[in-house]
Structure 1
Amino acid sequence: MSDIKLLPINQRDHSEDALDLAQRAADYVILEVGHAPNAAFIDDFFEAVPPDLNKSDLMNFGVMQQTAMTGIVCIAKGYELPTDWWIGLLLLDPAYRGSGIGHNVVQLIKTRARKAGMTMLKLAVLESNPRALHFWAREGFVPHRYAPATPDSDGHNRWVLKHQI
């Protein structure tokens, strides 16, 4: 799996490939949003910005194995603190899960974050996704806080995890 690369992707040129990937990984998308992936899900992947940030603070990557897109990643720079990177989504093709690809992607993210001077990686995991909680714990992420669903949210309880770089 050492041939895995994170290549920057953009909405104009890569929406179709990202949607194809999301459709292959529909199990997670349905868990999160309650329906199969569609163009609106991909638009959100490229455009949803955390509070107090701008679209320029988002980094979108395709997880590439040779020429195949095997995953997508979105990272917000400077959320919640200036030296934090927030992993908003790491979505992998189920055909590659369990092969070490997730670990390799996390290592690539950590390397990029260190080079950028970041000190912390953070993310939120759906409480209803125990496989993801186990994966992130195995990668060295620890609980930061519990984020229960609110009347204004999407109805999911989440664990916010962190990893000191």
Structure 2
Amino acid sequence: MAKIILEPINKQEHAEDALDLAERAADYVTLEIGRAPDMDFVVDFFEAVPPGLTTKNLLTFSVMQERAMLGMLCIAEGYELPDDWWIGLVLLDPAFRGRGIGHSVLELVKKKARSAKMTMLKLAVLEANPRALHFWTQEGFVPHRFAPATPESDGHNRWVLKLEL
């Protein structure tokens, strides 16, 4: 397998590439947001922030193998605690899933997080996505809490997982 790298991306220069990837990974996007991916999904990828943070706290990357964009990910730095990185989304092209790319991406994220003096990675997995839950727990993440859907939420139950660095 060719080397996987993470390249910083931004909305101004990479929105069309992000939309193309989201359309290829429409199976997950539709599961999460209940509709096909569109530019609103892409804008949210680049701009949606957890409470108490701003877009300055967001790190957005493409997952690259040679010149091909295989995925993208977004990290909120300092959510929920100052030394936490919250992985908001890892979206991989279905044609490349199951090939060890997710593991490679996680190793790169852990390396970057440690360099940034982070001590914890956290993320939320849709209960409706057991394959993702299996992946993250196989990678060493453990349950942190269960976040049930509320009338104000998007209707998804989620497992919040954590990994100490």
TM-score tier, shorter chain, comes to over 0.9
| Shift in Å, 1:112 | 0.3
Q: Which runs of 5+ in 1 are unaligned?
A: none
| Shift in Å, 1:86 | 0.1
| Shift in Å, 1:2 | 5.2
Q: Which amino acid aligns with 2:57?
A: D
Matching of residues 139-150 of structure 1 within 5 Å: 139-150=139-150
Change (3 A) 1:119 1:2: farther
Which residue pairs with 1:78 in the alignment? 78
Q: Which amino acid aligns with 1:54?
A: T
Which residue pairs with 2:115 in the alignment? 115
Aligned residue pairs, count: 165
Which residue pairs with 1:159 in the alignment? 159
Which residue pairs with 1:134 in the alignment? 134
Which runs of 4 or more aligned residues in structure 1 lie more than 3 Å from their structure 2 counterparts after TM superposition? none
TM-score of the pair, normalised by structure 1: 0.99
Where 1:154 maps in the other structure, the secondary structure is coil
Where 1:109 maps in the other structure, the secondary structure is helix
Matching of residues 36-47 of structure 1 within 5 Å: 36-47=36-47
TM-score of the pair, normalised by structure 2: 0.99
| Shift in Å, 1:19 | 0.5
Q: Following the alignment from structure 2 to structure 1, what is the Cα–Cα distance between the partners of residues 105 and 20? A: 19
Q: Following the alignment from structure 2 to structure 1, what is the Cα–Cα distance between the partners of residues 22 and 135? A: 19
| Shift in Å, 1:45 | 0.1
Instruction: Confirm or deny: 8 A CA contact 1:30 1:36 kept in the other structure.
Output: yes
* TM-superposition CA deviations, 1:12-44 (whole Å, max 9, x none): 000000000000000000000001100000000
Instruction: Confirm or deny: 8 A CA contact 1:2 1:104 kept in the other structure.
Output: no
Across the aligned residues of Structure 1 and Structure 2, the Cα RMSD in angstroms comes to 0.6
Which residue pairs with 2:54 in the alignment? 54
Aligned pair 1:20/2:20, yes or no? yes
| Shift in Å, 1:150 | 0.4
* TM-superposition CA deviations, 1:123-143 (whole Å, max 9, x none): 000000000000000111000
